[in-house]
Amino acid sequence: MPSFDITSKIDLQTLDNAINVVKKEVDNRYDFKGSHISVELNKKENIISLETDSDMQMKQLEDILLTKSMRQGIEAKAFDMSKEFSASGKFLRKTIPVKNGIDRDNSKKIVKLIKDSGLKVQAAIMDDIIRVTGKKIDDLQAVIQLCNSSSLDLPLQFVNMKA
């Protein structure tokens, strides 16, 4: 029976490369000269820490992070930009969690979306992966289109397609 897996994984090496490109860009930018700018990646906790002098620089740094990451192949949905920055001392700090894996709530939303579509497929939650099986490959491709067109806040990958 044909099947595929829905995942939401971020390659840490690609993310590390994107952070290094951001650091290089900050070093070369004229408007950041002489300013305190810090971009750090915590690989264990999947958190990016930003530190700047002003809120304008923080917004520019967020924009640079998103554009450079997207050029490396990381979707913008992978970053949780909802938290506001906090001021402590003379610097502004912001932590950006990187979404890695599908949590239980989003798994249930995706399975409900697939079941409500009326397609003849079965979706099963397996830890942070959702396995979708069906009799026809066309139904599986319809599920992929459905997931891509829905407004989920996750970067989804469709892997392990077996016919």
Domains in the chain with CATH codes: 3-8+101-162 (3.30.70.860), 12-97 (3.30.70.990)
Say how many C-beta atoms besides its own lie within 10 A of residue 35's C-beta: 12
| High-pLDDT (> 90) share of the chain, % | 59
Cβ contact 108:19 at 8 Å: no
Q: For 4-26, write each residue's pLDDT tens digit.
A: 999 998 889 999 999 999 999 99
pTM across the whole model: 0.83
- Position 87 confidence tier, pLDDT thresholds 50, 70, 90: confident
Hey, what are 47's tokens? 């958190």
Residue 31, amino acid: D
Q: Angle 12-28/55-71 helices, nearest 10 degrees? A: 130
Higher local confidence (pLDDT), 163 or 74: 74
Q: Strands across the sheet with 47-52, in order?
A: 38-42, 47-52, 91-97, 86-88
The pLDDT of residue 83 is 83
Q: What's the whole-number mean pLDDT along residues 94-115?
A: 91
